[in-house]
Amino acid sequence: MLNYHIKPEPDQQRLLLLDQRLLPGQEQYFVCRNADDVVQAIREMVVRGAPAIGVTAAWGCWLAALRLEMDGLDKSRYWEPLLNEALQKIAQARPTAVNLAWAVNRMREAWVDLGAPDLASLVKAWQAVAEDIHADDIELNIRMGGHGAALLEDGDTVMTHCNAGSLATAGYGTALGVIYAAVEAGKKIKVIANETRPWLQGARLTAFELQKAGIEVKVACDNACAILMQRGLVQKVITGADRIAANGDAANKIGTHGVAVLARHFGIPFYMAAPFSTFDFNCASGKDIPIEERAPEEVTQFRGQQIAPQGVPAWNFSFDVTPAALVTAFVTEHGIFKPPYFRSLKKLRERAGQL
């Protein structure tokens, strides 16, 4: 399991993040020493993937408090508004993946539970909470994989979109976790990694970690989905998700909706794997999910080189919403949930202890 990409170093008062922008060519760490570094790392895609940015955000809160302590602010009460400001910045670093706000809320709750702690006690308590969030994420991905593995058959070729693997989580992965678990159960699984324009998470990251794990992977252009499915080269599709609304509409990397439409057209099961922290029951439907729009240059340029004529604008929605009706089932750490989602997601909330 690739699990060295989010590396807190409390003794060095820093957080190291494997810079995913440079993979697969270089393995280099981005050093975070304060909340602003963490916000920059999340915004600029040093770390990405819904659960991974949640875990990073938790460490970011700890780092923000630690920084204030190191700057000697523990003697005054000024640290509280400064810390609140830092937490807000972290929670807003990217808008779509709900795991980010979820993690910051968990840190806030731990703060409230402590009453009115001094800064040193808060730093200590937050380190333990961040460690828990980090370890829980790996553990629940493994559980999710165990549930989802039953959906894959020996000999299947599975298509995935973007990267929902170890790199997108604290380790093991959501969609790729299901594939890892099926392989560990002795099934022979091949993977098609859609390249995932414009950041190429599929070609760079999914292919990187599957190759490292010894799983056969082939990269395909995003626009090759239809021919691959038409030729019977895909038996299942499984992706991750960034935010799932109460009715089962699910935001994931741009292009996922198109893959789901094609899967339905060709009669191929389309699964989404995500932890409970990715479900947002405050969003009634996909219409309420904020969709991040990133800089047009990410589309009109490639590695600094202009590829569209100068001055031509570009759409750059980072995510789209797959309607619940196209999702065959959700795989979570609490089991597999099938339509009708108004009923099954209620059961998910009960199992997660939320109802």
- By the criterion CB under 6 A, which residues form the site for ligand MRU? 48-51, 97, 162, 164, 168-169, 174, 201, 239-242, 252-253, 318
CA nearest 1: which of 172, 240, 183, 163?
172
Q: Residue 280 pairs with which residues in a beta bridge?
A: 245
What's the min distance (Å) between Cβ of 168 and ligand MRU?
A: 3
Residue nearest ligand MRU, CB atom distance: 240
206: buried, middle or exposed (CB in 10 Å: 19+, 13-18, 0-12)?
A: buried
| Choice among 37, 74, 242, 320 that is catalytic | 242
CB-nearer residue toward ligand MRU: 79 or 276: 276
CB-nearer residue toward ligand MRU: 183 or 241: 241
User: Using alpha carbons only, what angle is made at residue 249 by residues 246 and 254, rounded to the nearest 5 degrees?
Assistant: 140
What's the min distance (Å) between Cβ of 86 and ligand MRU?
A: 21
Two structure tokens written together for 315: 């759409």
Which element (helix H / strand E) includes 218?
A: strand 217-220
CB-nearer residue toward ligand MRU: 80 or 288: 288
CA pair distance 79, 69, nearest whole angstrom: 8
Cis peptide before 8 (omega within 30 of 0): no
For residue 74, indicate whether it is catalytic: no
What's the min distance (Å) between Cβ of 346 and ligand MRU?
A: 23
- Whether 101 contacts 91, CB under 8 Å: yes
Q: Amino acid letter at 238?
A: I
Q: Amino acid letter at 220?
A: A
CB-nearer residue toward ligand MRU: 80 or 298: 298
What's the min distance (Å) between Cβ of 165 and ligand MRU?
A: 7
Give the active site residues: 242
